[in-house]
Amino acid sequence: MASQQMVGNSAQMGVQQAAVLQSQQQQQLSQQQDFDPVHRFKMLIPLLKDSLQNVMTVASLNFGHNAVIDNGLNTTEKGNDAAVQRFDKSLEEFYALCDQLELCLRLAHECLSQSIDSTKHSPNLVPTATKPDTVQTESLSYSQYLSMIKSQISCAKDIHNALLECSKKIAGKGQGACN
């Protein structure tokens, strides 16, 4: 009887641990999705559609209200001001969502270009002499690796020299202005 209780308790603990693990994985996934600009973009599109629909609805109500006023059927100014404010508010909401979408697209583009640059300029693995049988197809030969490193050093030196030259020009202009 006691062994059956222990088995039951351990099964309950296993189920609880699995549930905790699953909730942690869901939290991590949702956090990753919050930072993913493409996922955020996809989440904002339905909101943008609703906001555009709201802008069009408010605009049509404003046109109808203005037509009534133009025909002289209703002369209350308070209702007209409230409708214009609502239109401004809905249009501002629409533009705010458009700005968020633009930022998401710019961020996604920047992430993509950074990833492309990273794969283009970062060295692939060089196979080690201890395990020659595990040569990967993406790996570079040692001579290819050396030539890539030399080109990176050369590029870094060129950038360093260009920055030094610019700083000297700026310092020279600053001294010439002071004299």
Q: Where are the domains of the chain?
A: 35-121, 141-172
Residues of the chain with pLDDT > 90: what percent? 32
Buried b (16+ CB within 10 A) or exposed e, 129-162: eeeeeeeeeebbeeeebeeeeeeeeeeeeeeeee
pLDDT tens digits along 31-51: 555 678 889 999 999 999 999
Q: What local confidence, expressed as pLDDT, does residue 178 receive?
A: 47
pLDDT digits (tens, 9 = 90+) for 66-93: 888 888 875 555 555 555 668 889 999 9
Q: Which 3 state secondary structure label does DSSP give 120?
A: helix
pTM recorded for the entire structure: 0.51
Output the pLDDT for position 152. 86
| The pLDDT of residue 177 is above 80 | no
What is the pLDDT confidence band of residue 61, given thresholds at 50, 70 and 90?
Answer: confident
- Does the domain at residues 35-121 carry the CATH identifier 1.10.287? no
Alpha-carbon dihedral of residues 15, 16, 18, 19, nearest 10 degrees?
120
179 by DSSP, 3-state: which? coil
Quick check: 83 and 67 in contact, CB under 8 A? Answer: no
| Tokens linked to 70 | 């133009």
> In which band, very low, low, confident or very high, does the pLDDT at 179 lie, cut at 50, 70 and 90?
very low
Q: At residue 154, does pLDDT exceed 60? A: yes
Residue-level pLDDT at 69: 84
